[in-house]
Amino acid sequence: MHKEPLFILFICFVLGVFLQDYFLFSDIYVYILLITSLLSLFFVVIKNFYVYRFRVVLFGFFFFTTGIFIHSLHSQKPELPLLKGKETITFKITKKLNSNEKNRRYEIDAWKDEAYFKSVLSFSKTQPELNYQHYYQGEIYVNQIEKPYSDFQFDYGKYLSRKGIYFQSYLPNSLKIAKRDDLSFAEKVKQRRSETLAKIDQTNLKKRSREFAKGIILADRTEMDQETVRDFRDSGMMHILAISGTHMAIIFGVILLLLNFIVPPKYRRQKIIVALLLIWSFAVFIDFGNSVVRSCIMISAYYTFVLLQRKTDLLHSMALAGFVILILNSNQLFEVGFQLSFAAVFGIYWFNQPFLKYLPKAKNKFQNFMLNVLSISLSAQLGTIPLVIYYFHQNSAVSIVANLVIIPFAELVIVFSLVMVILISMSVSFGWLSAIYDELITFTLKVIHFFADADSLMQRMIPLTLLEVLLLYLLFYFLRFAIQKFSIKNWFRIIYFVLIFVSLRFMLNYRAEQLDEVLVHQFFKEKIISVKEGKSVHFYCSENVSQEKIRQYIVEPYLTSRRTKNFSVTIVPSNISLLNLQGQQYQLYNK
């Protein structure tokens, strides 16, 4: 507590948010806890009281209850209108989402008469794109999002509810359009960003180069092809494609470098302030993406210490950024990007210096740069790997090598992409520059595809529970001490927790083997039947169903949750609608 008080208080705050999300305490209990913690702080200022000795615990309890209180405010469910089926809806768009093969998707603010609600809207790609400059009205199919039918499915409804969205809609026909005269400043910025994206689409760049530039600079991957996204994911390079701390640090560094050339050294503080203002302006322009805001807050917190002439502390900066983000919206704690960002920063803090001690001494700046890239990459990988496996159930051993190759090169790619987007937004075009950019991005994508194509190094369908994740992080906590100082005591701790982890996995695998069940999986109009007996699972599905989609959305998630990879699939002819399995009849189609 004495060394990292802010970070420990942040952990107490986070635990309070998790507890409130799990138990959903009523308002009366939340206020009782908060008032109790406030009263207990009174004893801290009175040093004669015996309780003063426990001031550390009291401060921790106060931040813990504050986390409960803040999340209770952000998790209250609004009163929802009664909507079902086809409704005449008026709406405006608030955000563009990733498209699929057939439809474009948006988040919308909508009204049915005077009743307000938020929804995810899908409509055919054959219709024109929507923009922020208009209100729209039409007959739309609206349904409340249902809970998943089984425990192994991703709870899409809960994910959207954290954003205040409880409905999904589909637009089958054309819309009535009305020009808006009430655009807010944020909506004007969003419209300007949409116009910049449209300008990029109109350039002579190759399609993949256009989509890459939109994704890596403007955080728009809505039209990016699935093969490119899969390459970045399988190579462990998604943090390059998504606007992340790496991007913002590079952009901030470039701005600061340019200011150093222009402005005399004595104005160092002013240069930092200008650079911070510019990256925040950039964050506003790209629609305040969560990862961008997190990065800007972390950079701002870090350089606030510099401006105040205080010793910079990575954990203090991270904790301060975390407090700001979660107080504004505690639901961000449950976003995968938020958790991975903070896990990566903590991994760098915990492992970077111990790793550097084992690496050879750098003889020049380039060697020093490469050694730091290696150390930081390894540290960030260790910090995030339990969460990556927990959420995505896959991991590639090639990702470490891929990061070492790509990250030094990524600085050039990000800066070049930023220059191209700025020129395009200003309607400035240089044919030779576009040709060079095309070749650079083509080469980059080929390198990433090469790493992603190393299937032998990719492990998929890795089961991992939350308890196993916590054990891994406990193991990594003690790993630092074993790296710093080789001793029997330190390595016995590692061996001890490895044995506990292995024992837990053995127990969970054994428990999964004992489960025999027959499940009916709903997939649009069709049904897929799974029969699990011991370690083996047999699936029955109609020949009309896409085998690739069935494998992606049902087979692999189910096998991962049941901790097995032994399965077979029986294709049932379309003229057969009933199956007799284990003495019961199952329907393959909805009536």
**pLDDT, tens digit (0-9, with 9 covering 90-100), for 274-321:** 989 988 888 888 776 667 777 888 888 888 888 877 776 778 888 888
CA neighbor of 286 nearest in space, from 182, 196, 198:
196
CA distances 577 to 324, 568, 591, Å, are 55, 20, 10
Average pLDDT, integer, range 151-161: 86
Question: How far is residue 251's CA from residue 278's CA, in Å, rounded to a whole number?
Answer: 10
**At CA 584, angle to CA 580 and CA 585, rounded to 5?**
55
Average pLDDT, integer, range 325-342: 90
pLDDT at position 53: 63
Cβ atoms 341, 244 nearer than 8 A: yes
DSSP 33-92: HHHHHHHHHGGGS-TTSGGGGGHHHHHHHHHHHHHHHHHHHHTPPPPPP---EEEEEEEE
Question: How far is residue 305's CA from residue 146's CA, in Å, rounded to a whole number?
Answer: 47
* Distance between start and end Cα atoms, the chain: 62
Of the listed ranges 16-20, 293-297, 416-420, the one predicted with least confidence? 293-297
Average pLDDT, integer, range 350-357: 89
Question: How far is residue 391's CA from residue 181's CA, in Å, rounded to a whole number?
Answer: 43
Decide which of 45 and 220 is more confident.
220
pLDDT at position 477: 93
pLDDT at position 142: 92
Tokens coding 559: 């096998």
Question: How far is residue 263's CA from residue 258's CA, in Å, rounded to a whole number?
Answer: 9
Q: What is the dihedral of CA 500, 506, 511, 516, to 10 degrees?
A: 160
Amino acid at 34: L
How many CA atoms within 13 Å lie on the side-chain side of 162? 15
Average pLDDT, integer, range 421-427: 88
Q: What is the pLDDT of residues 435-450, one digit of tens each?
A: 999 999 999 999 888 8
Average pLDDT, integer, range 548-569: 91
Average pLDDT, integer, range 520-527: 82
Q: What is the pLDDT of residues 69-104, one digit of tens each?
A: 999 999 988 888 888 788 899 999 999 888 877 889
Average pLDDT, integer, range 424-445: 89
Specify the 3-state DSSP secondary structure of 15.
helix
Q: What is the pLDDT of residues 380-392, one digit of tens each?
A: 888 999 999 999 9
Question: How far is residue 490's CA from residue 64's CA, in Å, rounded to a whole number?
Answer: 32
pLDDT at position 44: 66
Tokens coding 142: 């609206």
Task: Give Cα 494 to chain centroid, integer Å.
Answer: 30
Per mean pLDDT, which of 102-106, 150-154, 467-471, 587-591 is the most reliable?
A: 467-471
Region for 137 from its dihedrals, namely left if φ exceeds 0, alpha if ψ lies in -120 to 50, beta otherwise: beta
pLDDT of 217 > 90? The answer is no
Mean predicted lDDT score pLDDT of the chain: 86
Which band of pLDDT confidence, cut at 50, 70 and 90, is reported for residue 236? confident
Give residue for tokens 């999986």.
521
| Residue 388 φ then ψ, to 5° | -60, -45
Whole-number CA gyration radius for the chain: 27
Question: How far is residue 214's CA from residue 583's CA, in Å, rounded to a whole number?
Answer: 55
CA neighbor of 328 nearest in space, from 297, 305, 303, 349:
297
Which band of pLDDT confidence, cut at 50, 70 and 90, is reported for residue 1? very low
pLDDT at position 260: 85
Tokens coding 76: 């209250």
Amino acid at 159: Y
Specify the 3-state DSSP secondary structure of 437.
helix
| Residue 546 φ then ψ, to 5° | -65, 115
Tokens coding 573: 């002819």
Would you mind telling me the total number of residues written for the chain in this entry? 591
Question: How far is residue 420's CA from residue 219's CA, in Å, rounded to a whole number?
Answer: 15
Q: In sequence order, what E strands does 145-213 have?
A: 167-171, 176-179
pLDDT of 591 > 60? The answer is no
Cβ atoms 121, 105 nearer than 8 A: yes
Amino acid at 507: M
Tokens coding 562: 């049941």
Give residue for tokens 């896990």.
343
CA distances 556 to 387, 493, 536, 548, 551, Å, are 18, 35, 13, 11, 6
Question: How far is residue 472's CA from residue 466's CA, in Å, rounded to a whole number?
Answer: 10
Contacts of 365 (CB under 8 A, 6+ apart): none
pLDDT at position 472: 95
CA neighbor of 385 nearest in space, from 353, 350, 340, 351:
340
Question: How far is residue 43's CA from residue 52's CA, in Å, rounded to a whole number?
Answer: 6
pLDDT at position 49: 55
pLDDT of 496 > 90? The answer is yes
pLDDT of 368 > 60? The answer is yes
Of the listed ranges 41-45, 128-132, 176-180, the one predicted with least confidence? 41-45
Question: How far is residue 431's CA from residue 419's CA, in Å, rounded to a whole number?
Answer: 14
For 236-240, which contacts have Cβ atoms below 8 Å and span 24 or more sequence positions? 236/381, 236/396, 236/398, 236/399, 236/400, 236/402, 236/403, 236/451, 237/399, 237/402, 237/403, 237/406, 237/448, 237/451, 239/344, 240/216, 240/406, 240/407, 240/410
Which band of pLDDT confidence, cut at 50, 70 and 90, is reported for residue 42? confident
Give residue for tokens 């504050």.
66
Give residue for tokens 């401060």.
59
pLDDT at position 475: 94
pLDDT of 506 > 80? The answer is yes
Which band of pLDDT confidence, cut at 50, 70 and 90, is reported for residue 141? very high
Amino acid at 29: Y
